[in-house]
């Protein structure tokens, strides 16, 4: 399903990044997906969502804090719904993206730069 540079990323390597860094890397994929909300970009959008899900899965796998795991899994459901939607849902995407960025202060600081007010 996933064809990307993240396909070979090991849990050990992913665990070497801080939670802030992990969230920001997931956010990077969400930012890419933000730019692909048109119907003509559907395949590329789905690929972005697949990468997001793969990175979230890695984060859940290496996360030691149960509350973070639980919240990440809840957030993952939002992205899974976007992935299986019949058409792009820019508003739902933006809401999910904003939610992700609120996971950490470092990520939240990016909101003004990547999401319109």
- pTM summary value: 0.92
Query: Tens digit of pLDDT for each residue in 53-71?
Result: 999 999 999 999 999 999 9
Q: Is the sign of the CA dihedral 103, 35, 46, 90 positive or negative?
A: positive
Give yes or no for residue 111 having a pLDDT over 60.
yes
The confidence score (pLDDT) of residue 8 equals 76
Is 78 in contact with 28 (CB distance < 8 Å)? no
Phi, psi of 109 (to 5 degrees): -65, -20
Torsion, Cα 32 34 38 43, to 10 degrees, reads 40
The confidence score (pLDDT) of residue 39 equals 83
Is residue 45 classed exposed, middle or buried when 0-12, 13-18 and 19+ CB atoms within 10 A define those classes? buried
- What secondary structure does DSSP assign to the chain, as a single string? ---STTTT--HHHHHTS-HHHHHHHHHHHHHHHHTT-SGGGHHHHHHHHHHHHHHHHHHHHH---HHHHHHHHHHHHHHHHHHH-SS--HHHHHHHHHHHHTTSHHHHTTHHHHS--
Give yes or no for residue 105 having a pLDDT over 80.
yes
Give yes or no for residue 109 having a pLDDT over 70.
yes
The confidence score (pLDDT) of residue 2 equals 44
């Amino acid at each position: 399903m996933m064809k990307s540079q993240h396909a070979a990323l090991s849990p050990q390597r992913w665990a070497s990044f801080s939670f802030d860094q992990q969230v920001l890397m997931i956010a990077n994929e969400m930012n890419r997906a933000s730019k692909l909300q048109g119907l003509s970009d559907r395949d590329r959008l789905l690929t972005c969502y697949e990468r997001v899900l793969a990175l979230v899965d890695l984060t859940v796998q290496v996360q030691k804090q149960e509350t973070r795991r639980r919240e990440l899994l809840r957030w993952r459901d939002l992205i899974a719904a976007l992935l299986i939607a019949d058409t792009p849902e820019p508003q739902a995407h933006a809401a999910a993206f904003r939610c992700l960025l609120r996971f950490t202060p470092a990520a939240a600081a990016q909101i003004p730069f990547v999401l319109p007010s």
